[in-house]
Structure 1
Amino acid sequence: MGRLEGLGVRVSVVGCDVADRGAVAGLLGDLVGRGERLRAVVHAAGVAQLTPLGEVGVGEVEEVLRAKVGGAVVLDELTAGLDLDAFVVFSSIAGVWGSAGQVGYAAANAFVDGLVVSRRGRGLVGTSVAWGPWAEAGMAVGVAGEQLSRRGLPGMAPELAVAALQRALDGGEGQVVVADVRWDRFV
């Protein structure tokens, strides 16, 4: 945050359940009430999942979908009339080519990829980045990260991932996959 503020950006950190339409509407109303203009949305919410398909229950899938899909839908609906510079969803490679133990997570990420296609088709900004695992922090640290690394998907350095995000935004990309892939092991 300090780095952004050093660049002259005003930063506010506010707790809000992004899948709760009323809470998000209230947050946006507060911004407008203070004379602020929302310039960008970055939807990075998600719930990790690592459950074999035969053991996945409806409640687990609902929880996984609520964070990613519910939040994206609410943000899309409530910001559709705003003049945003960017609407970015953090998706996952799980939605692109699947991932063992992540059936709900894969479906949720495929949905947000499609939501960005829909936004762009309506003339709105939108970028979906299907991330591979990040090193140091995030859902792919620990057991999930070890499993992915064994499959040829080691964690990316956060600095490189952020640089890739900047390139995607600068290039006006709608959908990109950003991952460090050891193709010989992955294939």
Structure 2
Amino acid sequence: GTRHLVLTSRRGPDAPGVADLTAELTAHGARVTVADCDVADRDQLAALLGSLPADLPLTGVVHAAGVLDDGVLDALTPDRFDAVLRPKTLGTAHLHDLTREHDLSMFVLFSSIVGVLGNAGQANYAAANAYLDAVAEQRRAAGLPVTSVAWGPWADAGMATADVLTDRMRHDGLTPMAPDTAVAALRAAVAEGTSHATVVDVDWPSYAGVLTAARPSPLIGDLPEVRRALEAAKAAA
């Protein structure tokens, strides 16, 4: 039912796969505009918003930008933090501020499970996504629409498809989700007006074992699935 989709990235029409994506969306009946716009650049974003046709006003935002630069904490320089934080935090801040006067029905932020549960080598990425969740709290308090989704890994798409990263996540109990399943969860969260959602496929025996190997984890310790997994492991020992 969407009449007009504006797709933005820093490469715009030159991004891989844009032609096929545009054709697919157009076949569904939507008008598609592809723009090269860095949402972390306030002036670029303001110009893009100002160029939208009056008969097709902005009614929804999905902010899905992200950059990874993993490393152990003492190797994460300010530049490496900036590279990861900039697209997430500045993009979110500018979208939040510049669309405040628009009559939005949804404002969706793609956060990450890393900001909720953490992950080895991703302190910068955890901080970037925790910022998104904080902005969601701010928007909810102001009565503005928002859904911040802390994603677990997706299969076949997204930022966790590298073989080494996928294997490590599977070993740690985080199973990559089929995109159709993830999108269905996103649709439900937005329809229900959920301000925060964590969407992840967890193998709790494996994940609980990893997270509690050195010490108990108050973060997940009260979850029924974790208690059952730890009790089963203890009985087996």
Please report the TM-score for the alignment, with normalisation by the length of structure 1: 0.95
Higher relative contact order (CA 8 A, sep 6+): 1
Could you list the per-position Cα deviations for residues 120-170 of structure 1 after superposition, in whole angstroms to 9, with x for gaps in the alignment? 111110000000000112211112222211101121100000000001011
- Matched residue, 1:107: 127
Q: For residues 207 and 32 of structure 2, what CA distance do their matches in structure 1 show?
A: 39
The aligned residue for residue 230 of structure 2 is none
- Structure-to-structure mapping, 1:152-171, within 5 angstroms: 152-171=173-192
1:179 aligns with 2:187: no
Are 2:23 and 1:25 aligned?
Answer: no
Deviates more, 1:146-155 or 1:59-68: 146-155
Of 148, 151, 156, the residue aligned with 1:136 is 156
Runs of 4+ aligned residues of structure 1 deviating over 4 Å after TM superposition are none
In 2: Cα distance, 1:146 partner to 1:58 partner: 29
> Where does structure 1 lack aligned partners over 5 or more consecutive residues?
none
1: CA distance, partners of 2:88 / 2:199? 19
Identity %: 47
The Cα shift of 1:9 comes to 2.5
Which residue is 1:38 aligned to?
A: 58
Post-superposition offset of 1:65: 0.6
TM-score by length of 2: 0.75
State the alpha-carbon separation in 2 of the partners of residues 57 and 144 from structure 1.
22
Q: Give the paired residue count.
A: 186
Q: Where does 1:141-152 land on structure 2 (aligned, <5 Å)?
A: 141-142=161-162, 143-152=164-173
Judge which range, 52-61 or 2-11, deviates more.
2-11
RMSD after superposition: 1.3
Give structure 2 stretches of 5+ with no counterpart.
1-21, 209-237
**Residue of structure 2 in register with 1:64 after alignment:** 84
**Pairwise CA distance, 1:3:** 4.5
Identify the residue that residue 52 of structure 1 maps to in structure 2. 72
Greater gyration radius: 2
Larger strand proportion of the pair: 2
Q: Which secondary structure state, in structure 2, belongs to the residue aligned with residue 12 of structure 1?
A: strand
